Amino acid sequence: MADITEQPLFQPQDVESSATFRFLSKVNSTHSLSLQTYSDLYKWSTSHLDQFWGMVWDETDVIGTKGSHVVDNSAPPVANPAWFADAQVNWAENMLRCRSENKLALVEATEPTPEDPEPRLRRVTYAELYNLVADVASALLYHGVRPGDRIASYSSNCIARLFSYPSARMCENVAACLATSAIGGIWVSAAADFGSEGVNERFEQVQPKFIFAVDAVVYNHKIHQHLPKLSELLSGLGDKISPPTVVINSVLSHPPSREAWEKGWLSWEDFVRQGREHALGRSEDGEIEWHRTAFDAPLWILFSSGTTGRPKPIVHRAGGMLLQAKKEFAICGDLRPDDVFFYYTTTGWMMWNFLVSGLTIGCTLVLYDGSPLRDVSLLWKLVDDLGITIFGTSAKYLDQLSKYYRPREHHSLRTLRHIYSTGSPLAPPLFDYVYEHIHSGVLLGSITGGTDICSLFAGMCSALPVYRGEIQCRMLGMAVESFTPTGTPNPPGQSGELVCVRPFPCMPLGFWPLPGFRTEVEVNAARDRFLQSYFSEFKDVWYHGDHIAITSSKSGNGGGLIMLGRSDGVLNPGGIRFGSSELYEVLDECFTNPSGEYIVTDYLAVGQKIEGGADERVILFIKIPTGHTLSSEFERRLKAEIRARRSPRHVPAQIIQASDIPYTLNGKRVEVLVKKIINGAPLSSVNPATLSNPECLAFYRDIGEDLRRAYP
């Protein structure tokens, strides 16, 4: 388990004035309680779901009709109960409550290229964003889009044109998402770096009526043509779905070249012009006629990685996404209208949805397209240039950065208040790195949730300290526990399965298709798949598939969280269960310093079944710099450190040098997939379209054959 110290790395100032404690005081006065600590508030929030979520609605000033019903407080999670059954809300209306002509909604930045070595920042105010969304919503209505239709994007995070184009509008992807919600459509997004085959597997299932795309993207100091991938996608969809209307935003030339366009494609400018001319879906005073839906109406569909099968189309409810974002940002994170919020993400990762939801606070969002590491100073220069206060990234990015860059030596970073990290567990040494080499006074929020809930189970709280290697707290209203294999709660510090034992409003509606959209057979199959995914492990409670430990309560936090890896990747040699992160932490502590004698640049630990499946042994794959080989001395030193810092049971049975470690397109190690392959699963069971480097799997197949021959 992580080396957690009792001395906090960050201590909040003036806790009583924090948003969390202002909310606690309101709870006390409303319900005649005497809650004192975050732990008290957390316990109340998870035992009185109806009262808690009703107060979240009121205190965050949701636009819409609330009604009297909140939730059946006695329902188990497996019932997936209705929330706010009488409510009527629109997610986009709540994102665009600010209409200021002076307040920036979005700032767009793009990685430099040889064609555009100093790309200018593009800025759009809340008033401009609202007007653009109104035009796009009108255009969608003009083309016959109705509530429940799926609107898809195969695009980049933002579009910064490489050449001047006077009639250009900005923030296309954000505007299209907001416009889709405004009229009751369902948003679907795939990142431009996804291959056409992987996008085909997603769009085929949901059958979008529209696809928004770009003709090029910028990454790693280069311009990459996108239209060939789009054409491949449309060809692959072929007769599987009705042909969608395609809208292209051209980023390459002035005027835009359409030589490679297919018949019927619309330009973004023409599409927006249609909306402006017809002005459908607007009241007499020009206000968007917001299509307010039930709280449980679908907002967007996100997809699981799908490394060994078709990606699961996860349908998220509009009200749940809205209320969770308001709770996480306004009450727990204490984000404010004057914050400048950045998250490095693609449009295919749930963190894009997380970032865009920040509009409900009225703060300024920073969108970035390009590589985060080609010029390591670029993102930190943006912090200083734009006054970024909330900086979001991944643990993998911080890990890579820590090997060779010290931002505080080159940048002021004086505006930073929070740094958020997700995607994989944040190793304890990276906590040290952030506080020593980025900013000593920042709140480092390691956060965890996932595509499945498009929000957080555990994460940041501005009223709590930060401890090394530990997520600050379980989020309010999320009844997270650590379960033993037999389904009983673990004591503090013991590792187990992450479960949620009470319903929560960001629980998905299910997998697509929902009732009313396809045949009864298809709907029933989707429902069965949903129940199998989250409720087959433990009766009635949500099983998330993460291996965790909940720590003893410190500073009234009710217990922080330590992430130990994915549950199906848990290692179990000789019946001793532990997470792969326990090995990774040793590697991070001792073997990733570029100036050290022994260097490990990446790693992956899996279990090989032996004795006919009765036991398993741990295989550790490591990647070391090009030109180096795994020596017996290196292996001896590595095993000795693991034995000393963990236990003899943690020592891998075998350490193997690998040329590459497989990752999903969203930058996550695929331990489970490698485990299956080395235990005999054929490569044909792998969905290569979901991986960024599927070519490396042949190595693991061949190694697996050798391992099984040696240890059947």
CA atoms of 283 and 323, how far apart (whole Å): 27
The CA distance from 144 to 334, in Å, is 40
**Structure tokens belonging to residue 272:** 């927006």
Among 604, 155, 157, 657, which residue's Cα sits nearest to residue 424?
604
Q: Which amino acid is at 599?
A: I
Closest CA to 443 of 469, 420, 424: 420
Distance CA 458, CA 48 (A): 19
Q: What span, in angstroms and rounded, lies between the C-alpha atoms of 529 and 635?
A: 43
CA distance 288 to 133: 9
Burial class of 285 by CB neighbour count within 10 A (0 to 12, 13 to 18, 19+): exposed
Q: How far apart are CA 63 and CA 88, in angstroms?
A: 9
Query: Quick check: 359 and 95 in contact, CB under 8 A?
Result: yes
User: Strands of 186-191's sheet, edge to edge?
Assistant: 266-267, 245-249, 210-214, 150-155, 186-191, 298-303, 313-317, 510-511
pLDDT of residue 308: 63
Angle at 328 between CA 179 and CA 158, to 5 degrees: 40
Q: What is the pTM of this model?
A: 0.88
SS (H, E, C) 360-397: HHCCEEEEEECCCCCCCCHHHHHHHHHCCCEEEEEHHH
> Rounded to an integer, what distance in angstroms lies between the CA atom of residue 673 and that of residue 474?
29
CA distances from 106 to 159, 172, 642 (A): 12, 11, 47
- Measured at the CA of 621, the angle between CA 617 and CA 622, to 5 degrees, comes to 145
Say if CB 141 and CB 280 are below 8 A apart.
yes
Residue 562's DSSP bridge partners are 549
Q: Among 637, 699, 627, which Cα is nearest to 662's?
A: 699
pLDDT in tens, 407-426: 999 999 999 999 999 988 89
| pLDDT in the model for residue 223 | 84
CA angle 423, 428, 434 (to 5 degrees): 80
Residue whose pair of structure tokens reads 């009526």 in the numeric block: 209
CB 160 within 8 A of CB 122: yes
Adjacency order of strands within the sheet including 455-459: 448-450, 455-459, 473-474
Beta bridge partners of 190: 154
Cα dihedral 536, 539, 542, 547 in deg (nearest 10): -80
Query: Rounded to an integer, what distance in angstroms lies between the CA atom of residue 588 and that of residue 601?
Result: 9
pLDDT at 248: 92
Per-residue confidence (pLDDT) for residue 646, from 0 to 100: 82
Res 163: pLDDT: 37
User: How does strand 602-610 pair with strand 561-566?
Assistant: unpaired
Task: Name the residue among 245, 228, 247 with its Cα closest to residue 236.
Answer: 228
Please list the residues that pair with 212 across neighbouring strands: 153, 247
Q: Where are the beta strands (DSSP E) in 111-149?
A: 122-125
Give the count of beta carbons closer than 10 Å to the beta carbon of residue 403.
13
Between CA 244 and CA 223 the distance in angstroms is 26
Counting every residue, how long is the chain? 712
3-state secondary structure of 39: helix
Structure tokens at 184: 């009751």
Tens of pLDDT, residue by residue over 32-56, are 999 999 999 999 999 999 999 999 9
Q: Using CA atoms, how far apart are residues 584 and 593, in angstroms rounded to an integer?
A: 14
Number of other CB atoms surrounding residue 539 within 10 Å? 9
Contact 227, 215 (CB under 8 A): yes
DSSP-assigned beta bridge partners for residue 566: 546
Sign of the CA dihedral with 500 first, then 505, 509, and 515 last: positive
- Give the count of alpha carbons within 13 A of 153, CB side only: 33
Distance of CA 660 to the CA centre of its chain: 24
Q: What count of Cα atoms within 13 Å lies in the side-chain half-sphere of residue 592?
A: 22
Low-confidence ranges of the chain (pLDDT < 70): 1-5, 158-170, 252-257, 306-308, 593-598
Q: What is the Cα–Cα distance from 156 to 191, expressed in whole angstroms?
A: 6
Q: Nearest CA to 480 among 502, 461, 495?
A: 502
DSSP 563-614: EEEEGGG-B-GGG--B-THHHHHHHHHHS--TTSSS---EEEEEEEEEGGGT
Q: What pLDDT was estimated at residue 253?
A: 53
Residues 6 or more apart whose Cβ sits within 8 Å of residue 158: 106, 108, 109, 110, 122, 170, 171, 173, 174, 367, 368, 369
Q: How far is CA 673 from CA 568, 619, 683, in A?
A: 10, 14, 10
- Nearest residue to 342 (alpha-carbon basis) of 300, 304, 387, 307: 387
Alpha carbon separation from 100 to 92, 439, 667 (Å, rounded): 16, 32, 37
Q: Which amino acid is at 108?
A: E
Whether the Cβ atoms of residue 415 and residue 336 lie closer than 8 Å to each other: no
